[in-house]
Amino acid sequence: MAPMTTFKGDQFDRSLFESVIKRRFFFTESFEIYRLAPSFRGDNRGLFDYGPPGCALQANIVDVWRKHFVLEENMLEVDCTVITPELVLKTSGHVDKFADWMCKDPVKGEYLRADHLVENVLQSRLDRGVNGPLKNSPKLDEETIAEYNDILAKIDNYDGPELGDLIRKFDIRNPDGNGEVLPPIPFNLMFKSTVGPSAAAPVYLRPETAQGQFLNFRKLLDFNQGAMPFASASIGKSYRNEISPRSGLLRVREFLMAEIEHYVDPEKKEHERFQEVVRLQLPLLDKATQLAGKTTCRSITIEEAVTSKTIDNETLGYFLGRIMLFLLKIGVDPSKLRFRQHLDNEMAHYACDCWDAELLTSYGWIECVGCADRSAYDLTVHSNFTGTPLVVKEALRTGPVKVERWQASLDKKLVGPRFKRDAKAVQASVEGLDQSLLERLASELNAKGVVTIDTATPLADGTSSVELSSELLTIQKVTQVQTIREYTPNVIEPSFGIGRILYCLLEQTYWHRPQDAARAVLSLPLIVAPTKVLIVPISAQSQFTPIVRRLSSRLRVLGITNTIDASSASIGKRYARNDELGTPLGITIDFDTVTDGSITLRERDSTTQVRGSEDEVLRAVNNLVHGTESWDQITQYLTAFSTQGQDND
Amino acid sequence: MAPMTTFKGDQFDRSLFESVIKRRFFFTESFEIYRLAPSFRGDNRGLFDYGPPGCALQANIVDVWRKHFVLEENMLEVDCTVITPELVLKTSGHVDKFADWMCKDPVKGEYLRADHLVENVLQSRLDRGVNGPLKNSPKLDEETIAEYNDILAKIDNYDGPELGDLIRKFDIRNPDGNGEVLPPIPFNLMFKSTVGPSAAAPVYLRPETAQGQFLNFRKLLDFNQGAMPFASASIGKSYRNEISPRSGLLRVREFLMAEIEHYVDPEKKEHERFQEVVRLQLPLLDKATQLAGKTTCRSITIEEAVTSKTIDNETLGYFLGRIMLFLLKIGVDPSKLRFRQHLDNEMAHYACDCWDAELLTSYGWIECVGCADRSAYDLTVHSNFTGTPLVVKEALRTGPVKVERWQASLDKKLVGPRFKRDAKAVQASVEGLDQSLLERLASELNAKGVVTIDTATPLADGTSSVELSSELLTIQKVTQVQTIREYTPNVIEPSFGIGRILYCLLEQTYWHRPQDAARAVLSLPLIVAPTKVLIVPISAQSQFTPIVRRLSSRLRVLGITNTIDASSASIGKRYARNDELGTPLGITIDFDTVTDGSITLRERDSTTQVRGSEDEVLRAVNNLVHGTESWDQITQYLTAFSTQGQDND
């Protein structure tokens, strides 16, 4: 395909772009015809339907994803339920921690997401150069500008009370009406419901596909015949009850995710295929750079990033490389892609390191893929709670070895009477203590005669820690013969927001013909374009019908999606419509076709045309679709063809 | 593929079958490791996760579906949200009518679905030949047996009060504990939640994908450039909060649907491609046969069924034929397929005729595909409520014509003061009256001086009808010149439950080797099999590794999914495992491969093997996968090969 030449990011006109998306029904707000009904109540933003081209684009992106990740690396794809019992999400930490901070404007009755409020107000003050909402607000001085910029660079790093401090300090108010807002409170982002007529226990719509994969870990490991490392994957809808969603497809309440959970031995985070990606250059924005208040990327090889520990390990580096290759394959502009490391407070409660692939759009840099190291967090908490071991057992390669280990034991006669209903929980918590903690507790117990231990599950009195004296608890070093090594895998999780990727791709591939801003083009690559080929007969005469049908059917047999437009509009208008739909190739049937069987093939971006026999053109189309030939190569053996003004009708 | 010879329906052993499904992780109950936790509460049955082979099988069925329906017929695929505002589902009738009847057992605190209760108890009495739950119950007489059979044949035709009568008349009790149950009450089958921090209005998880398609009708018609007939389609999850789900995948609360909404002119229900299906024989069980208390099918051509009006029209007949072709393509046993017409009370509130494709399993005949004529119901109610016209406008082919029409007009000066806030609603209702109603009202108004009119939306006082006197309302015949014909399309809806189809297919393709009941095989056809090819090196020696990798990679380039099993198990065990996974083809690499490059290809059902060069075998595999050659054809040009006892290791 010819390169995009007429579109520059700074010329991007969002309203023109949005009118194309709407006109061609890529997507639309859900239940649009109801939104104007007077009895339509409630907050139903952040919900979108995909029309035929959006739906096909989405299916094609998912298809490429499945081939690029699942099939290429033999991942174990699963499909788990969206409905999830509260207990599962309580254990995973989502019931307590999966929340955003929000401020209520008591006058308007509106809820505002606290970080967005601070960000929007400070950015607007910077843009207007004044330090307040009113016309006679004082001008911003250099020091305040620097302070604002520093806050904006770290905006994802503040928790609720800190956001509350900023709101007070800078007198930040609801831009809609200038009312003061109440201090930030947390709002859990999960949709709640109940199951069955008894409605006995709440359920949630999953906020990520990951938990279903973790709960099936044991079956997956069995299915993989015990071999490590391996990955599971899942493509499906997830739900987040956003506080106040805006910006179209970028912040929605129901969205398609594609997630990979790659299980690795924590002591072997090398990756077998690391060599395949080492030379790739990644545009990185690391944590240190952001905390210094800067946003400039540096482009370094994956090898260098892993060696310098900018990226923690080979497996994480490998996946960042594979993510980049995927994004480029579906048509992302490499100059509008970066990998940003999460700041500490910004990370999800389960993550210990995280990089986002961000795509540049008219809304700024948008997080589209997360790649987190969730460590052993999830498997550990589910295993502790259910008592089901979610571990890998491997024969020691060295054969049996003697090892010294710290071992804790409780005096069972005393524990029962002392802890009653909690005895089992206390026992389980002591068994769950790891070696380094045991070593520390042993010396503490020795010194003080008592230690405090956190319990995995809450106790009868609601607390979750317990004091154990040396009467009850013994910790000593023992020598054991080990033949098996047992460990809880760490999880590296590349997680893709398909809707966000789709939106960013549409923005990045949108441009218009230099001569006419109304002639829009979406330069979607063949691999993801909703329809590959448009077939247009030059007129609606019936002599063309059998030729059109035969061509369409031959393409379908080749697995190439095509559309016939036999409407009475001019050829130019029909092409223009399909340029907006991102259809890469057009076949024209004219009066010469009837006599000599030749047909014309048009390339969307350059509008150049070539001509050949039906067989020649179909072979060329097939090669283009499968990526075995480029348009330039096609033009070398098929005759150039021009129809005066056809593309300007 | 060789025909199934060793399996007969009556030999089916469900526990053996289920152990294969579980062992090979086709699917499993969701959150299984949590189900035993003491604090796990609530009714979480009817929720299932698909493991790798189940997930791949599902994806392949969906892929065939998309090609067979969406691409073959240029349907407009959309993807709409699951979350749906109450108002939409109130209008569609689901809030009021999408319910099942249930009985509470007050002693056990259990809820039972009323029709299932009656069915199970009467069936169990028939099976045991006695007329009551206890050992000394009287024997069933001929008359009662006939009565029970008659009720069972019509079980889907009873409403709640009728089921209550049956429960009282036959003293039907909860089989679990023999307690009396309370009279049936309706239970709405939709999951409820709220959106956003304000939680101002309830939303539901959609019970079908159809409503999202209907709400977008206007955009879809535009996208189709106004041409009729056309179809939209959607593949996605839907949710039904079943009262008491049992029978595994057959009755679940979260499930994948694939639905088509085919919009037709109610006056032209012919179908352009009807001739392609007329000679297909459909096994039909029509309404009249069922009401006569019989369950025997008759097999007739689609042509005959439509001509005799057994099937109402060509479009419905065309889709029943296409549904049958789809089911046969994915491997359904033609002797275990029938089309059953719905009884009047059984039909969904929106349907005017409906046929189910049912598949025979160990649970009996299972409804897997519905094909309903929803008439103009949905488009009409949404259009009336929102005021958005959901109609097709066509230029009259005959040119402008004069028509006589009844026209109603309200005296606007009087209507405002008389109806105040309701004036608009009354006005809209009068405008919405159709011609036949107007004709009747005209004579009534003439005779009595007053008529009563139903309003589309409830009035301020909660009523939904209004009296209009001849002072307010005039109805007269006028002559108009029409150039445009305007109509609300009828909708023919083929609706597929993918999970049910998947389950029935697994049961229907399951059998075991005659010599060993533990050697199970799933004869899934290549087109849907989770993995097409198994690659097995004869031993784990490293000399095979590069050959195995090259083969796997060459197959992947051809788009053919494959698995490598280089474990230390015997070849026979590795094949047996993959027979249970339904893998149709196996390639073996042995010591001869290293010297002469030849490899072995094995066919799952017959276990026959052939041998050839790598290129020859890959070409054969490619032809088998694409359906251009059969196994019999392959065996004619590749050398037969046998390894003594390999398949009996």
User: What band does A436 get if pLDDT is binned at 50, 70 and 90?
Assistant: confident
Nearest to A102 among B66, B197, B243 (CB): B197
**What integer is the mean pLDDT of B409-414?**
88
Considering the segment(s) B400-482 as one domain, its CATH architecture is: 2-Layer Sandwich (3.30)
In the prediction, which pLDDT does A9 show? 42
pLDDT reported for residue A154? 84
Which pLDDT value is given to residue A234?
Answer: 98
Q: How confident is the model over A263-306, as pLDDT tens digits?
A: 999 999 999 999 999 999 999 999 988 888 788 899 999 999 99
Residue B545 burial by CB count (10 A; 0-12/13-18/19+): exposed, middle or buried? middle
| Nearest-CB residue to A77 (from B56, B194, B201) | B56
Q: How far is CA A470 from CA A446, A454, A516, in A?
A: 8, 17, 84
**Beta-bridge mates of residue B590:** none
Q: Do B78 and A51 touch (CB under 8 A)?
A: yes
Q: Which of A495-509, B415-429, B440-454 has the highest mean pLDDT?
A: A495-509
Cβ distance of B33 and A253 shorter than 8 Å: no
Q: What is the pLDDT of residues B186-197, one digit of tens each?
A: 999 999 999 999
For domain A531-640, say whether CATH 3.40.50.800 is its number.
yes
pLDDT score at B3: 33
Arithmetic mean of pLDDT, A505-513: 96
In this prediction, residue A350 has a pLDDT band, given cuts at 50, 70 and 90, of low
Q: What is the pLDDT of residues A598-609, one digit of tens each?
A: 999 999 999 999
Taking residues A479-508, report their average pLDDT: 95
Task: Report the relative pairing of strands A585-589 and A533-537 from DSSP bridges.
Answer: parallel
Rounded to the nearest integer, the mean pLDDT of chain A is: 91
**pTM of the predicted structure, to 2 decimals:** 0.88
Packing angle of the helix pair A498-509, A14-23 (nearest 10 deg): 110
pLDDT in tens, B125-139: 998 888 877 777 888
pLDDT, mean of residues A136-153: 88
Q: Cβ separation of A42 and B76 shorter than 8 Å?
A: no
Please say if the pLDDT value at position A574 is more than 90.
yes
Instruction: Give the ranges where A233-376 is alpha helix by DSSP (H).
Output: 287-291, 302-307, 314-329
Does the pLDDT value for residue B303 go beyond 80?
yes
Distance from CA of A379 to the nearest CA of B (A): 12
Rounded to whole angstroms, how far apart are CA atoms A213 and A492? Answer: 13
- A71 secondary structure, DSSP code: I
Residue A111 to residue B196, Cβ atoms within 8 A: yes
Distance from the Cα of B346 to chain A's closest Cα (Å) equals: 22
Give the nearest chain A residue to B558 (CA atoms). Answer: A626
CA nearest to B238 within chain A: A82
Asked whether B601 and B609 are in contact (CB, 8 A), the reply is yes
Task: Tell me: pLDDT of B648 over 80.
Answer: no
Q: Which CATH class is domain B99-188?
A: alpha beta
Of A438-447, A489-498, B262-271, B290-299, the poorest mean pLDDT is in B290-299
pLDDT at site A648: 55
> Are B43 and A195 inside 8 Å of each other by CB?
yes
CA distance B196 to chain A (A): 6
**Main-chain phi, psi angles of A424, to 5 degrees:** -65, -40
Residue A340 Cα, gap to closest chain B Cα (Å): 29
Residue B79 reports pLDDT greater than 60: yes
Q: Residue type at B203?
A: V
Cα angle B182, B184, B187; round to 5: 120
Please say whether the beta carbons of B233 and B73 come within 8 A. Answer: no
Chain B hits for A81, CB-CB cut-off 8 Å, are 30, 47-49, 254
The pLDDT value recorded for residue B1 is 33
* Nearest CB to A82 within list B44, B254, B388: B254
* pLDDT score of A8 more than 70: no
Q: Span B308-337, mean pLDDT?
A: 96
Query: Which pLDDT value is given to residue A3?
Result: 33
- pLDDT tier for residue B350 given thresholds of 50, 70 and 90: low
CB contacts < 8 A, A to B, total 255
Give contacts of A565 with chain B, Cβ < 8 Å.
Answer: 225
Query: Which tops the pLDDT comparison, B455 or B91?
Result: B91
Beta strands in B66-184 (DSSP E): 76-77, 83-85, 99-105, 110-113
Distance (Å, rounded) from C-alpha A97 to C-alpha B119? Answer: 47
Q: Which residue has the higher pLDDT, A453 or B53?
A: B53
Rounded to the nearest 10°, the torsion over CA A113, A119, A121, A122 is 160
Partner-chain contact B253 A195, CB within 8 Å: yes
Q: For position B2, what pLDDT does the model report?
A: 33
Label the pairing between strands B533-537 and B585-589. Answer: parallel
**Residue B11 pLDDT exceeds 80:** no
Between CA A43 and CA B83 the distance in angstroms is 12
Average pLDDT over residues B73-99: 95
pLDDT at A77 over 90: yes
Q: Do B48 and A81 make contact, defined as CB atoms within 8 angstroms?
A: yes
Using the beta-carbon criterion (under 8 Å), do A567 and B225 form an inter-chain contact? yes
CA distance A545 to B420: 59
CA–CA distance, A72 with A62 (Å, rounded to integer) = 14
Please tell me what DSSP assigns to residue B249: G
Q: Which of B30, B204, B622 to mutate to test the interface with A (most CBs of A within 10 A)?
A: B30
Q: Which residue's entry shows tokens 């108002």?
A: B87
Q: Which residues of chain A have a CB within 8 Å of the CB of B39?
A: 87
Please tell me which residue of chain B has the smallest CA distance to A221.
B25
At residue B7, the pLDDT reads: 43
Distance from CA of A92 to the nearest CA of B (A): 12
> What is the predicted pLDDT for the residue at A413?
86
Nearest CB to B78; choose among A36, A55, A77: A55
- How close is the nearest chain A Cα to the Cα of B338, in Å? 30
| Residue A6: pLDDT over 50 | no
Confidence of residue B5 (pLDDT cuts 50, 70, 90): very low
In this prediction, residue A463 carries a pLDDT of: 82
Residue with tokens 């299984």: B32
Among B42, B197, B202, the residue with its CB nearest the CB of A111 is B197
CB-closest option in B87, B222, B556 to A34: B87
Q: Domain locations in chain B?
A: 14-80+206-377+492-497, 99-188, 400-482, 531-640
Asked if residue A54 has pLDDT above 90, the reply is yes
For B598-609, the pLDDT digits (tens) are: 999 999 999 999
Separation in Å, CA of B364 to nearest CA in chain A: 25
Residue in chain A closest to B215 (alpha carbons) equals: A31
pLDDT of residue A40: 87
Q: So what's the architecture of A14-80+206-377+492-497 in CATH? A: 2-Layer Sandwich (3.30)
Query: pLDDT digits over B214-269, tens only?
Result: 999 999 999 999 999 999 999 999 999 999 888 789 999 999 999 999 999 999 99
Contact B55 A77 (CB under 8 A): yes
More confident: B109 or A602 = A602
Q: Which of A34, A58, A72 sits opposite B79 (nearest CB)?
A: A58
Residues 6+ apart with CB under 8 A from A239: A82, A190, A191, A205, A206, A207, A253, A254, A255, B83
pLDDT at B433: 84
Does the beta-carbon distance from A51 to B216 stay under 8 Å?
yes
Mean pLDDT, rounded, for B633-646? 84
Distances (CA, A) of B242 to B245, B251, B282, B531: 6, 8, 31, 33
CA dihedral B161, B163, B166, B168 (to 10 degrees): -60
Asked if the domains at B14-80+206-377+492-497 and B531-640 fall in one CATH topology, the answer is: no
Nearest to B216 among A39, A49, A223 (CB): A49
